[in-house]
Chains A and B, each alone.
Chain A
Amino acid sequence: QSALTQPASVSGSPGQSITISCTGTSSDVGGYNYVSWYQQLPGKAPKLMIYDVSNRPSGVSNRFSGSKSGNTASLTISGLQPEDEADYHCSSYTSSGTLVLFGGGTKLTVL
């Protein structure tokens, strides 16, 4: 099964807001509210930033928010800070035999 579709890169200036999209199908993103977003710093493990579409784990800044419309989920980062520069990956439960899908990752550059 194909991976979820994310833009390869996005950029923004400090203080601005950016949104990263994650497009799937009705068998994954569109069919379930089990979408997560991860932040991955260079050489580090992924860190959970958003789960169940729009929930933030304890300790994650409220500058990070998630939403979903149809088969597309989105991660919005407001008030961009230099430390937000990282790769961001989306993931969804899928009713196919593979159980979970990941996006190809989006590199965020803070200009």
Chain B
Amino acid sequence: EVQLVESGGGLVKPGGSLRLSCAASGFTFRTYSMNWVRQAPGKGLEWVSSISSSGTYTYYADSVKGRFTVSRDNAKNSLYLQMNSLRDEDTAVYYCARDPSRSIPPPDYWGQGTLVTVSS
């Protein structure tokens, strides 16, 4: 069974940093590209970032480019999102999501999400 478990969310002040993690199991993690998708309170889904299966290629939404960094450790079956210079508008539930086996989105499996709240 595919499982994606996010962690690392919490309350942080504007300008602060946070690192999210996603632990994957139930599939061969190193062969799948992965995504971070967020959902602000009461809003729709917003794609944040993607990373290729090897980690060679990374992609970012304009809203987070230069502030967020996606990475992965295939030996640990883990995906990460380093978030710096956080803003109020980054407040959201952040989901880790797997791309289908063809490595082209949209995602198929999603984690349960971790809440990030940016507030002074």
- Which A residues have a C-beta under 8 Å from some C-beta of B? 3, 34-36, 38, 44-48, 51, 57, 89, 91-93, 97-105
Q: Which chain B residues border A34 with CB–CB below 8 Å?
A: 104-106
Cβ-based interface call for B32 (8 A):
no
> Of the candidates A35, A48, A102, which one forms a contact with B46 in the assembled complex, judged by CB atoms under 8 Å apart?
A102
Q: Which chain B residues border A98 with CB–CB below 8 Å?
A: 47, 59, 61-62
Q: Which chain B residues border A51 with CB–CB below 8 Å?
A: 100, 106, 108
Q: Which chain B residues border A57 with CB–CB below 8 Å?
A: 108
> From residue B39, how far is it (CB to closest CB) to chain A in Å?
9
CA distance A69 to B11 in the complex (A): 44
Interface size in chain B (residues, C-beta < 8 A): 23
> Is A91 a contact of B59 with CB atoms below 8 Å?
no
> Is B104 a contact of A102 with CB atoms below 8 Å?
no
> Is B106 a contact of A45 with CB atoms below 8 Å?
no
> Is B106 a contact of A93 with CB atoms below 8 Å?
yes
Using A45-B112, A51-B100 as known contacts, say yes or no to A100 and B46 having CB atoms under 8 A apart. Answer: no
> Is A100 a contact of B35 with CB atoms below 8 Å?
yes
Q: Which chain A residues border B95 with CB–CB below 8 Å?
A: 45-46
Using A34-B104, A36-B106, A51-B108 as known contacts, say yes or no to A101 and B47 having CB atoms under 8 A apart. Answer: yes
